[in-house]
Amino acid sequence: MQNSKAQPNNLRMFTGITISAIVLAVVIILFLVSPVFTVQDVVISGNYQVSENNIRSMLNIGPTTNLILFNTRAARQQLLANLYIGDVTFRRVLPGQLYVEIAERQLSAYVEHMGSYLFLDDSGRVLEIRSYFTKPLPILTGLQFTRFQLGEILDVPDSASFSAVVQYAQLIYLHGLSDIVSHINVSDTSNIRIFIHYIEFNVGNVSSADKKIRIIVEILDAIPNADIFRGIVDVRNPYVQVFARPIQ
């Protein structure tokens, strides 16, 4: 008899606990989706080429967007559709702050192709194609390719020449020469030429590339009026004294 009485009591206790848990869960859910957690502030950092307005537009955050329910996976996919954005991370700070950290791809050079310009990042990825450019960056010449695809690394049959392009483009950016280098010619990977102002620097191959670029920087600092100097400089062997030969 005692067991039969205990069973209804246990059932009522279990039912009461279940109802209480459901009510508590509903209360918590209603609290989390309440206006308390509406996104009040979006802090964007790491962007230089992609405007903050464009990023906010892609995030599609409205006046009632809930911070906790905000779909960061979908937002990340939307942002990565812009080829200048290489990665993005989100951080929520309750009750209403969203931090968005952008990692951009660095535009490093152009390749002229059928009257237009392919915009390449520092790994050789095609970010954009336009009929013009405004930012001064090296124009790569001598690359042979038959196809390209936006968002993909340029498909160049001669991997040696492309590797040389990428390496020198990265070094030119690292040493702050991107805005004064007009062309890089890699048609002959043993006789790569870098054109700065009116000076042609013959850097040979990719051996000791960093040292060669450092020497170029030193030469530019040492030549009076380097921006109007016309000459040819042989830096194929960076371990011998280098002379600038003027062009008459």
Q: What is the pLDDT of residue 175?
A: 93
CATH topology of domain 35-104: Ubiquitin-like (UB roll) (3.10.20)
pLDDT for the residue 163:
82
What are the residue ranges spanned by the domains of the chain?
Answer: 35-104, 107-246
Residue type, 89: T
Q: Which residues contact 62 (CB under 8 A, 6 or more apart)?
A: none
Please give the CATH topology (third level) of the domain spanning 107-246.
Rossmann fold (3.40.50)
pLDDT for position 98: 96
From first CA to last CA, the distance across the chain in angstroms is 118
- The answer to whether the beta carbons of residues 154 and 124 sit under 8 Å apart is yes
- What is the DSSP-derived secondary structure letter of residue 114? T
pLDDT along the chain (248 residues), means of 10: 58 65 58 72 95 95 89 95 96 93 94 91 92 91 85 83 84 92 89 93 92 94 87 91 71
Residues 213 and 172: beta-carbon distance below 8 Å: yes
Which residue has tokens 């030193």? Answer: 218
DSSP E strands in 132-210: the ranges are 139-141, 181-185, 192-196, 198-204
106 with 47: CB under 8 angstroms? no
Q: Which helix (H) or strand (E) holds 168?
A: helix 159-174
Exposed, middle or buried, 239 (CB in 10 Å: 0-12/13-18/19+)?
exposed
Residue 103 pLDDT: 97
pLDDT of residue 21: 64
**Do 35-104 and 107-246 share a fold?**
no
pLDDT of residue 7: 62
